[in-house]
Amino acid sequence: MNQEKSEVVSEFLRIIPPTQLFVSDFAIHSIGVILSRLKKLDALSLFLNDLFINGQIEQISLEPLDLIDVTYNIKKYNLNFDDSYQFTVAEKYAMTLVTFDKGFKVVGLKKKTPQEIINK
């Protein structure tokens, strides 16, 4: 969406097969809230189409009882709700979390930036 680091994200998406990419429902909802507040519904529709139809990326979710783990991880790792949700998803599905968030430091979390993956 022509934001900072969009070129890195484009390269990341070009080299990683969609079958190896997953996005949390929380991330999708957060993007939806932001774009709707900005009155960019066309951009939201395009984003969703690119992600799920063209990209065939799978959305993953937490079950209601998993939210107890989210609250536990907030306390244990001093995370905000968003970061704890993403951490809990990565932990539940044994995935590597791909993020630009440098402040997201949790012992035992497999985390990489898109640039680190590209450089491999």
pLDDT per position as a tens digit, 19-66: 899 999 999 999 999 999 999 999 999 999 988 888 889 999 999 999
pLDDT, tens digit, 9 for 90 and up, residues 96-108: 999 998 877 888 8
Looking at the structure of the chain, the number of domains it has is 2
Question: Is residue 93 domain-resident?
Answer: yes
- Cα–Cα dist 20/26, whole Å: 19
Tell me which residue range forms the domain holding 72: 62-106
Asked if residue 98 belongs to a domain, the reply is: yes
12 domain-assigned:
no
Residue 6 lies in a domain: no
**How far apart, in whole angstroms, are the C-alpha atoms of residue 54 and residue 32?**
18
Q: What are phi and psi of 23, to 5 degrees?
A: -135, 140
Query: In Å, how far from its chain's centre is CA 105?
Result: 15
37 occurs within a structural domain: yes
Q: Are residues 55 and 88 in the same domain?
A: no
113 is a domain residue: no
Q: Are residues 54 and 72 in the same domain?
A: no
